[in-house]
Structure 1
Amino acid sequence: MNTDSTISSLLGPAAPELGWVPAPRYLMRRARIRHLMRNLPVGRLLEIGPGAGALSVEFSQKGFQCEALELSVEARELAQTFIRKFRQNIPIHAQPDTGWKSSFDVLCAFEVLEHIENDREALEQWASWLKPDGRLLLSVPAHMKLWNARDEWAGHVRRYERASLQKVFWGAGLEIETFECYGFPLTNLTERISAPIYNRDIYSGGETSDDDRKRNNDRSGIDRSPDLKTYPLLRSIPGKLALQVFAIVQAAFINTDLGSGYIVKAKRR
């Protein structure tokens, strides 16, 4: 294993030499996901849109029999390399398998649904891959009032409101068990700070064509260029202490709508 590839209980897996490190928003989301998964029995798990595969690596290390579905060639190649570095055996599929119906104990889709035009149809398909009483964990960006240049850059179709997301879940035959609004106040702040960077990428020289937007959409879950510069601070002692504080603060506000993202845990009806 490359010595640059590290894993810690607070930051999770990182591989700066591959261009992927955890971002603050990801870490706030990860903290809540780990909390929601703590009592789930290990079993067969599918992650849709795993990005670099960091969470799949952690799920696998916890004993889950992990697989992933990743349509982006660029993301799939990175995830395969990333997963090998952490010595996990996680098949990554380029297309859904026709034999997946009622096959998985857990299905995860983090920051994926907002990219899909027909979100209810997608959620219905994902739910069909769960075993009876299987669990789905999903995250999406929250509040259209927070729409910014990164949403446009990443190819998002929408940000969600609580009521609209609940409606999609019920329509897809899923019973919501936990509904959290995560990230406050850190992710609200980091989104605002990073928006001008993405705005410049879109409008100041090159990200203008449909092909460019499609390419950005495909790599939106793996592009960590801005975060590579700040990662040394993030993994410093002051940075880790700050993250711990923000994780505690966000936990106090998960039942409000103050954060910038939603995390839902649901079961197949």
Structure 2
Amino acid sequence: MTVLPPGTLLQLMYLKERIKTMRPGRFVEIGPGAGHVTALLLDCGWTGIAYDFEPSTVAAISARFHKEIESGRLRAETKNWLAIRLAEPVELVISCMVLEHFDDAGERSFIEVAKRNLVPDGVMITIVPGSSRHWGIEDEIAGHFRRYSDVSARALFESAGWVIRHTAGLTFPVSNLLFPLSNFLVKRAEARKLSLSMVERTKQSGIRTVSMKTTFPSIFGLLLNEITMYPFHLVQKACRRSVRAMVLYVEATPNR
């Protein structure tokens, strides 16, 4: 059994609630990482495509979801999202911890490509790092250009002709309490990555192995699961307007 970090669990629990309010359709996921969001969407009845420009990430996704790929419910491809024009638009474009890896021009292109690949009433969901005061070594190692706030995310999307449907700060206060420990673990395990280019850091950020940060002994599954984390999920929902939340959820639709 894969044991997920507390912050990842909280993000997925919130995303699951939002996805369940939508009618299942076709999705495109950019930067699937280990496939946690992919699994959630497939479990909720969606079909789609996962894109990443790192072949090893696509290979891992293909191995994890080989049955869904064989049945035609999922495709996994090594492609650059900024060059994608789908033959048929989809109902959902989704990315988790991806948009912050693009420079300003790339960030703008990212959401423009999303707009052209969505049906008229389609939705884009993006989950990004929040709270600029919490910029840390993990941002440097992962190849981030920025962290977001509700204000900056709204300005970005609205200036590009989108309508914000919903935003929420997530993982507060759990991630905040664990922040010093997280920085210590990341620095100890991954400081060598600071010598890599931004592109290489981004490529290696999809699937990371940092003991007690991204990977845990299986026994920790007794503590880290949706049941035990549910009270913290209620807290994050109650505090979703906190500017100190270290993760930001954004849901938007094109203004056509």
- Answer yes or no: is the 8 Å Cα contact 1:184–1:250 preserved in 2: yes
The residue type equivalent to 2:211 in the other structure is P
Q: Which residue in the other structure is 2:115 paired with?
A: 127
Q: Are 1:42 and 2:19 counterparts? A: no
Q: Separation in 2 of the partners of 1:158 and 1:35? A: 27
Instruction: Please state whether the residue corresponding to 1:225 is helix, strand or coil.
Output: coil
Which of structures 1 and 2 has the larger relative contact order (alpha carbons within 8 angstroms, sep 6+)? 2
Give the letter for the 1:60 counterpart: L
C-alpha displacement of 1:74: 2.0
Task: Give the conservation status (yes or no) of the 8 Å contact 1:52–1:222.
Answer: yes
What is the CA-CA distance between 1:247 and the residue it aligns to? 1.1
Distance change (3 Å), C-alpha of 1:174 and 1:185: same
> What residue identity is the alignment partner of 2:16?
R
Q: Secondary structure at the match of 1:91?
A: strand
Is the 8 Å Cα contact of residues 115 and 156 (structure 1) preserved in structure 2?
Answer: yes
Which residue of the partner structure matches residue 55 of structure 2?
73
Match of 1:144 in 2: 132
Tell me which residue corresponds to 2:68.
88
Displacement of 1:142 after TM fit?
0.7
Q: Note the aligned Cα RMSD (angstroms).
A: 2.1
TM normalised by structure 2 equals 0.87
| Match in the other structure for 1:11 | none
For the residues of structure 2 that align with 1:149 and 1:143, how far apart are their CA atoms? 14
Matches of 2:116 and 2:254, distance apart in 1:
8
User: Any conservation in 2 of the 1:127–1:173 contact (CA below 8 Å)?
Assistant: no
> Higher mean Cα deviation, 216-225 or 25-34?
216-225
Query: 1:68, CA displacement in angstroms?
Result: 0.9
Which letter maps to 2:251? K
Instruction: Please say which of residues 37-46 and 185-194 is displaced more in the overlay.
Output: 185-194
CA distance in 1, matches of 2:139, 2:194: 15
Instruction: State the alpha-carbon separation in 2 of the partners of residues 131 and 50 from structure 1.
Output: 21
Q: How far does residue 24 in structure 1 lie from its aligned partner after superposition?
A: 1.5
Aligned-residue offset at 1:58: 2.3
Q: How many Å separate the matches in 2 of 1:231 and 1:138?
A: 29
* Distance in 2 of aligned mates of 1:231 and 1:38: 31
With over 3 angstroms needed to count, the CA separation of the structure-2 counterparts of 1:157 and 1:82, relative to structure 1, is same
Is the aligned partner of 1:230 residue 2:216? yes
CA 233–172 in structure 1, closer or farther in 2 if over 3 Å, else same: farther
Deviations 1:39-98 (A, max 9, x none): 1111111111111122212212222112111111221121111222xx322211222475
Paired residue type of 1:36: R
Provide the C-alpha distance between the structure 2 equivalents of 1:208 and 1:30, rounded to a whole number of angstroms: 29
Aligned residue pair count: 245
Alignment of 1:1-269 (within 5 A): 6=1, 14=2, 21-84=3-66, 87-89=67-69, 90-95=74-79, 96=81, 98-100=84-86, 103-117=89-103, 118=105, 119-201=107-189, 203=191, 206-211=192-197, 214-227=199-212, 230-236=216-222, 238-240=223-225, 241-269=227-255
Shift of 1:102: 6.2
Contact kept, 8 Å, 1:155 with 1:217, in 2: the verdict is: yes
* Contact 1:25–1:190 (Cα < 8 Å) also in 2: no
Unaligned runs of 5+ in 2: none
Equivalent residue number for residue 9 of structure 1: none
Distance 1:149 1:182 in 2: 20
Cα distance between partner residues in 2 of 1:229 and 1:52: 12
Distance in 1 (alpha carbons) for counterparts of 2:250 and 2:221? 28
TM-score, normalised via structure 1 length: 0.83
Paired residue secondary structure (1:190)? helix
Counterpart AA for 1:182: L
SS at match of 1:45: strand
